[in-house]
Amino acid sequence: MRDIKLVAILLIFMTWSCKEEAKKATPTTTILKGEVIFRPTSDTLLLLRATENASQENKMIGIPIVDGKFNYEFSSEEDLAYQLIFKEEYDKGNAKPIIFFPTEGSVSFKLHNVKDFSSNEVTGGPLNSTYKEFTSKILNPFNNAVISIYKEFEAVTYQDRHSTAFNTIASKLRAASQEEKMAIYKQMNALKEQGLDKSTLGKEVDAKYEKLEMKYFDDKYDFITANPSVVSYYLVIADLMRVTDRKQPSNELIFKAFNTLKEKFPEHAYTTLGTTLMNEINERK
């Protein structure tokens, strides 16, 4: 009887091990194919994970663009967000990543110039459909609203947005030595911390943007709550990577969403990365 139980346990363990090995041995193979529109000088796209820094050149893959088209096959071990970057933008330091999610089969792209970035199309697989829903319903409307605010106040100068005290201190920077600049920056930061750096008009601009940003975060995290997927997990991780001040109101939304998604995806790479980021944030408290 004991031998039968032992055999049963071994069979269960072997079955589980085989499943794990099979999962690792069958990565997702994705063909990236697309066309590049009105970008005649673009000759290369760079591929890397969306959570990786583009400065890590050893982690980037170059994809040639020939006659305005590209085709590339690659394998991924796990559902993760990836990014494509135009090499000429990367070289200039102003790259705007195109986010996508690998799927078994193909992902198709129609990529435009920077001016028409919001017209880019990425299709293929349910995760890309979910991300497209987020960008079309939430991200693009937010970006358009931000542009409207900038246009409304584009005639307002930097000096007009700041207080007399702040401008007086800032005006000393040009003639200051490097050592003197450190003291000046310290004075400028002190005014910012006290809320004395902006003029009445500057505070009006900030208030409009902050109201817009909070609506964006509310809408974004409503979407994340309603769609607990790898897409949402990527959005949360991307926000965690940008957290600099734990006291920001939006951060509570981020932390809550991460704690929920790590329970749903306990073995995912984003759980490991997110836990590390959370530890770093807590150490800065």
Give 45-56 pLDDT, tens digit per residue.
999 999 998 776
The DSSP element (H or E) to which 13 belongs, if any, is helix 2-25
Question: Is pLDDT at 26 greater than 90 in this prediction?
Answer: no
CA distance 172 to 184: 8
Q: Which two tokens stand for residue 134?
A: 């987020």
Domain boundary among 78, 96, 124: 124
Q: Would residue 230 count as lying in a domain? A: yes
Q: Would residue 116 count as lying in a domain? A: yes
Q: Would residue 85 count as lying in a domain? A: yes
Q: Are residues 116 and 221 in the same domain?
A: no
Q: List the domain range (segments joined by +) for residue 80.
A: 23-124
Q: pLDDT-derived band of residue 245, with 50, 70 and 90 as boundaries?
A: low
Q: Are residues 236 and 110 in the same domain?
A: no
Strand locations in the chain (E) = 28-36, 44-49, 61-64, 69-76, 82-86, 98-100, 105-111, 121-123
* Domains of the chain: total: 2
C-beta separation of 108 from 124 below 8 A: yes
Q: Are residues 50 and 120 in the same domain?
A: yes
Q: Are residues 153 and 228 in the same domain?
A: yes
Q: Would residue 179 count as lying in a domain? A: no
Q: Would residue 135 count as lying in a domain? A: no
Residue 233 CA, chain-centre distance (Å), reads 11
pTM of the predicted structure, to 2 decimals: 0.83
C-beta separation of 39 from 113 below 8 A: yes
Q: Are residues 108 and 153 in the same domain?
A: no
Q: Are residues 152 and 235 in the same domain?
A: yes
Question: Is pLDDT at 223 greater than 60 in this prediction?
Answer: yes
Q: Are residues 120 and 147 in the same domain?
A: no
Q: What is the CATH number of the domain that holds 111?
A: 2.60.40.1120
Q: Are residues 61 and 153 in the same domain?
A: no
CA atoms within 13 A on the CB side of 164: 0
Q: Are residues 153 and 253 in the same domain?
A: yes
DSSP string for residues in 66-96: BTTEEEEEEEESS---EEEEEHHHHHHT---
Q: Are residues 153 and 279 in the same domain?
A: yes
Q: pLDDT-derived band of residue 18, with 50, 70 and 90 as boundaries?
A: very low
User: pLDDT (tens digit, 9 = 90+) per residue, 106-156?
Assistant: 999 999 998 899 899 999 999 999 999 999 999 999 999 999 998 988 888
Q: Are residues 98 and 153 in the same domain?
A: no
The DSSP element (H or E) to which 53 belongs, if any, is none
Q: Are residues 158 and 256 in the same domain?
A: yes
pLDDT of residue 137: 96
Q: Which two tokens stand for residue 185?
A: 């920056």
Q: Would residue 137 count as lying in a domain? A: no
